[in-house]
């Protein structure tokens, strides 16, 4: 298959012929088609596939695609990333349900606890991102024309309500993590809930700082420790777009002016957390490197 | 929520406050944003929701959205249709897995057999559309510059192989239907498999005729009878885009010249089948109106 705009960015080809080879096509950045874009579903499946690759269950190749290119449109005829291809079986999975179905069956076959169910964790995370988007949209609209994002204290009540909801939900997750005392949401290994939540928290953080003058409250120590866990998880790091590509993605959707800071800068990834928070984590003995015996 | 480019095209508002109201946002046609576009997942979920609406389980509103409009981008920040909103619960389902999950739970709650499993039916339908797309792409490429689509007999072997696969898979489905003697794939009521297969068969038919000089072989009487069933199923008819909108969708993906026939014509829907096939169906006593006692 000829793909003029596809660049292979990760290949974990082993010598085992028995392992299925899964190719994942992810959306490229609008800045540079060789870079990963900020599509949340793409990162979610990439993380799940990475988990299967890490324990030797599958071979995985990830390719970025420029969805606006003629080559992509012709090859996939209207399908949008994430798209997964399993050439040996002549199967193309163009639907999130199908992609998850295939990963689910592989995980089940090899007893990988990637899809354990936990309704209470599910409940805590389901509304967070929706509410963040409502807050983002309302505040960006309110700040239109201003040089700097307004401060939370200066927001009118109808925008503050969105802010409060986001904080409340972040607090709920912080609470859950403090009760469970686990590295990931359900335990000491990553599940689909982490593949969903980690990228969303990272977007909230990057977009909060760059567009909203908002940071995840520093007193949510357990939540910050969880974010730190993401920054130390290979599946997350590998699949994470650069800050500039995340910012560019949201600016495009919000119809905001993209400045040269994002498009010309060398891509960087914020994978550190504030010093004060890090020190709180250490004091409470939460950091993974402190916990290791 | 202000949506400059959203037009409400169907509203089944009842007086019952207890029924959940589900709003489905579907992709608009590239010809006219008030018309339904040819996105297969949108039609699939629309049909499923229609099934719930018909038996009084849910209220359903469907809205077409112009995905290129600034209003849409701002409202949904990068999410693509189908998108489902349940305002009472403050939930937005932007992922096919989430949409299906919600419909699944509603169907389960009210004992609607929409999601019965049948691996053998699933196996028969899974590769059909992929193979049709491979055939379409190869033949359109081969026919480039020709006034009329080439005849199947004149195709080189490497394109003929795609043609043969499509026919083989259509034949398998015809066979399955002839063995089961049921109105829908699994029985006498519609399931998710029909919501998946019916729109795909209709696309194959419309695009086959307009771009490929290909028709579903007329001797597949049971398959044609199944297509006729689609054309007599309200869930399918209501959610079905016009021929012109289907053709426009594929031409756009294939980078083909769109002529005024599609863009200026009044929209029409081919919901009839060839006379000869209809007569075979009658002779074999398969037509729904003949079967009714």
CB burial of residue A49 (10 Å; 0-12, 13-18, 19+) = buried
Q: Is the pLDDT of residue A290 over 70?
A: no
Residue of A nearest to B78 (CA): A253
Rounded-to-integer distance, Cα A289 and Cα B254, Å:
53
Residues of B in contact with A253 (CB under 8 A): 73-74, 76-78
Residue of A nearest to B44 (CA): A95
CB contact under 8 A, A127 and B253: no
Contacts with A268 (C-beta within 8 Å, 6 or more apart), sequence order: A242, A243, A244
* CATH code at A117-231+272-291: 1.20.1050.10
The model's pLDDT over B181-209, given as tens digits with 9 standing for 90+, comes to 999 999 999 999 999 999 999 999 999 99
CB contact under 8 A, B95 and A41: yes
Write down the mean pLDDT value for chain B: 90
Q: Is the pLDDT of residue A4 over 80?
A: no
N- to C-terminal Cα distance for chain A? 49
Question: pLDDT confidence of B288, banded at 50, 70, 90?
Answer: low
Question: pLDDT confidence of B141, banded at 50, 70, 90?
Answer: very high
Rounded-to-integer distance, Cα B42 and Cα A55, Å:
36
Rounded-to-integer distance, Cα B136 and Cα B141, Å:
8
Question: pLDDT confidence of A289, banded at 50, 70, 90?
Answer: low
Give Cα separations from B99 to A117, B25, B192, B263 (angstroms): 18, 11, 13, 32
CB contact under 8 A, B96 and A91: no
Question: pLDDT confidence of B6, banded at 50, 70, 90?
Answer: very low
Task: Point out which residues pair with B64 in neighbouring strands.
Answer: B7, B26
The model's pLDDT over A38-96, given as tens digits with 9 standing for 90+, comes to 999 999 999 999 999 999 999 999 999 999 999 999 999 889 999 999 999 989 999 99
CB contact under 8 A, A90 and B127: yes
Q: Say how far residue B205 (Cα) sits from the centre of its chain.
A: 11
For residue B32, give how far its alpha carbon lies from the nearest alpha carbon of chain A (Å).
18
Q: Is the pLDDT of residue A160 over 80?
A: yes
| Residue of B41, B75, B254 lying closest to A74 (CB–CB) | B254
Best residue of B250, B253, B255, B258 to probe chain A, by most A CBs closer than 10 Å: B253
Give Cα separations from B27 to A173, B80, B83, B275 (angstroms): 34, 8, 9, 33
CB contact under 8 A, B77 and A137: yes
Residue of B nearest to A246 (CA): B78
CB contact under 8 A, A77 and B250: yes
| Residue of A96, A137, A249 lying closest to B95 (CB–CB) | A96
Q: Which pair of tokens denotes residue A231?
A: 């920054």
Task: Point out which residues pair with A85 in neighbouring strands.
Answer: A23, A92
| Residue of A77, A80, A252 lying closest to B133 (CB–CB) | A77
The model's pLDDT over B225-253, given as tens digits with 9 standing for 90+, comes to 999 999 999 999 999 999 999 999 999 99
| Residue of A74, A80, A90 lying closest to B137 (CB–CB) | A74
Rounded-to-integer distance, Cα A125 and Cα A138, Å:
21
Residues of B in contact with A97 (CB under 8 A): 96-97, 100
Residues of B in contact with A126 (CB under 8 A): 91
Residues of A in contact with B73 (CB under 8 A): 252-255
Q: Which pair of tokens denotes residue B178?
A: 């002839």
CB contact under 8 A, B137 and A100: no
Residue of A nearest to B255 (CA): A70
Residues of B in contact with A38 (CB under 8 A): 78
Question: pLDDT confidence of A261, banded at 50, 70, 90?
Answer: confident
Best residue of B27, B45, B96, B249 to probe chain A, by most A CBs closer than 10 Å: B96
CB contact under 8 A, A78 and B249: yes
- What does the pLDDT read at residue A150? 94
- What does the pLDDT read at residue B16? 47
- What does the pLDDT read at residue B289? 61
Closest CA to B51 of B208, B248, B191: B191
CB contact under 8 A, A95 and B249: no
Rounded-to-integer distance, Cα B247 and Cα B210, Å:
7
Domains B7-114 and B116-231+272-291 share a fold: no
CB burial of residue A111 (10 Å; 0-12, 13-18, 19+) = exposed
- What does the pLDDT read at residue A258? 75
Closest CA to A77 of B139, B150, B262: B139
Closest CA to A77 of B80, B213, B249: B249
Question: pLDDT confidence of A224, banded at 50, 70, 90?
Answer: very high
* CATH code at B7-114: 3.40.30.10
Quickly name the fold that domain B116-231+272-291 has: Glutathione S-transferase Yfyf (Class Pi); Chain A, domain 2 (1.20.1050)
Give Cα separations from B22 to A143, B52, B55, B112 (angstroms): 32, 10, 15, 17
| Residue of B90, B97, B127 lying closest to A97 (CB–CB) | B97
CB contact under 8 A, A137 and B75: yes
Contact B36, B245 (CB under 8 A): yes
For residue B202, give how far its alpha carbon lies from the nearest alpha carbon of chain A (Å).
16
Q: Is the pLDDT of residue B7 over 70?
A: no
Domain boundaries of chain A, sorted by first residue: 7-114, 117-231+272-291
Instruction: Please state, for a pLDDT cut of 70, what percent of chain A lies above it.
Output: 92
Rounded-to-integer distance, Cα B149 and Cα B208, Å:
10
Contact A172, A208 (CB under 8 A): no
């Amino acid at each position: 298959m000829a793909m003029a705009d596809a660049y292979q960015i990760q290949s974990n080809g082993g010598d085992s012929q028995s392992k299925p080879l899964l190719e994942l096509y992810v959306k490229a950045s609008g800045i540079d088609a060789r870079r990963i874009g900020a599509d949340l579903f793409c990162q979610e499946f990439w993380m799940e596939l990475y988990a299967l690759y890490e324990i030797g269950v599958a071979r995985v190749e990830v390719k970025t695609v420029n969805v606006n290119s003629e080559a992509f449109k012709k090859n996939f005829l209207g399908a949008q990333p994430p798209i997964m291809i399993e050439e040996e079986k002549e199967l193309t999975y163009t639907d999130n349900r199908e992609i998850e179905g295939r990963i689910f069956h592989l995980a089940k076959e090899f007893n990988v606890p990637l899809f354990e169910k936990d309704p209470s964790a599910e409940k805590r995370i389901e509304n967070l991102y929706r509410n963040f988007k409502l807050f983002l949209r309302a505040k960006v609209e309110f700040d239109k024309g201003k040089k700097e994002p307004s401060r939370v204290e200066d927001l009118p009540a109808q925008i503050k309500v969105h802010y409060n909801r986001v904080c409340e939900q972040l607090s709920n997750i912080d609470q859950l993590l403090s009760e469970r005392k686990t590295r990931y949401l359900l335990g000491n290994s990553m599940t689909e809930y982490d593949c969903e939540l980690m990228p969303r928290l990272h977007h909230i953080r990057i977009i909060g700082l760059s567009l909203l003058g908002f940071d995840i409250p520093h007193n949510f120590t357990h939540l910050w420790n969880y974010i730190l866990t993401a920054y130390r998880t290979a599946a997350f790091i590998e699949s994470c777009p650069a800050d500039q590509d995340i910012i560019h993605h949201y600016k495009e959707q919000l119809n905001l002016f993209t400045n040269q800071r994002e498009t010309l800068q060398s891509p960087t990834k914020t994978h550190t957390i504030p010093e004060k928070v890090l020190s709180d984590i250490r004091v409470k003995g939460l950091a993974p490197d402190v916990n290791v015996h």
